[in-house]
């Protein structure tokens, strides 16, 4: 199975670096497909998880206070935590979920159908290059989204915490 995933990644990865993917396929087509798949499988299957480790981040809206769900690629940091990057398909604006985490760092994630509480911490400037290197070992070229966006992408470490009462 790992060999199949490696081959699929080798084919798909270059496509994710194209302007068509960043402007149309990624932001317009993937989210509704992910939502439909999540609904049909009760959150156990994600399209993106076929290629990379993926989770659903459940944040509280910074302004609305409404719980928002967003499927994201994550990178395990080797210490039981997840790293997520607010690339927004190289868009010029930060994705809303990053603003939500800055305002409300206590969130939940669902990984393979299992929901757990986490605390989000922004990656400090001094750790950014090392963190990007970790992310790019999983998905080469991913930092190009930051370069092409013209902004500093927000990186977060999601630390599992004890369930809230």
Give the N- to C-terminal CA distance of the chain in Å, as an integer.
40
pLDDT, one tens digit per residue, over 74-84 is 999 989 999 99
**Going from the N-terminus, what domains does the chain have, and what CATH number goes with each?**
2-160 (2.30.110.10)
pLDDT, one tens digit per residue, over 5-56 is 666 666 666 776 677 766 767 666 777 777 777 678 776 666 666 667 889 9
pLDDT, one tens digit per residue, over 57-102 is 999 999 999 999 998 999 999 899 999 999 998 889 999 999 999 9
Single pTM value for the model: 0.77
Phi/psi for 143 (5° steps) reads: -70, -15
Dihedral (Cα; 33, 163, 98, 6), 10-degree rounding: -50
């Amino acid at each position: 199975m790992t060999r199949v995933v490696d081959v699929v990644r080798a084919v798909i990865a270059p496509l994710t670096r194209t302007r068509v993917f960043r402007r149309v396929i990624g932001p317009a087509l993937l989210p509704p497909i992910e939502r439909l798949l999540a609904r049909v499988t009760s959150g156990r299957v994600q399209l993106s998880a076929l290629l990379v480790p993926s989770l659903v981040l459940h944040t509280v809206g910074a302004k609305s206070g409404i719980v928002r769900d967003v499927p994201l690629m994550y990178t395990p940091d080797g210490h039981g935590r997840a790293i997520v990057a607010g690339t927004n398909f190289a868009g010029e604006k930060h994705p809303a979920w990053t603003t939500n985490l800055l305002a409300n760092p206590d969130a939940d994630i669902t990984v393979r159908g299992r929901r757990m509480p986490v605390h989000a911490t922004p990656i400090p400037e001094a750790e950014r290059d090392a963190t990007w290197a970790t992310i790019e070992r999983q998905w080469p070229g991913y930092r190009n989204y930051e370069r092409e966006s013209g902004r500093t992408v927000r990186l977060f470490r999601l630390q599992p915490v004890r369930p809230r009462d």
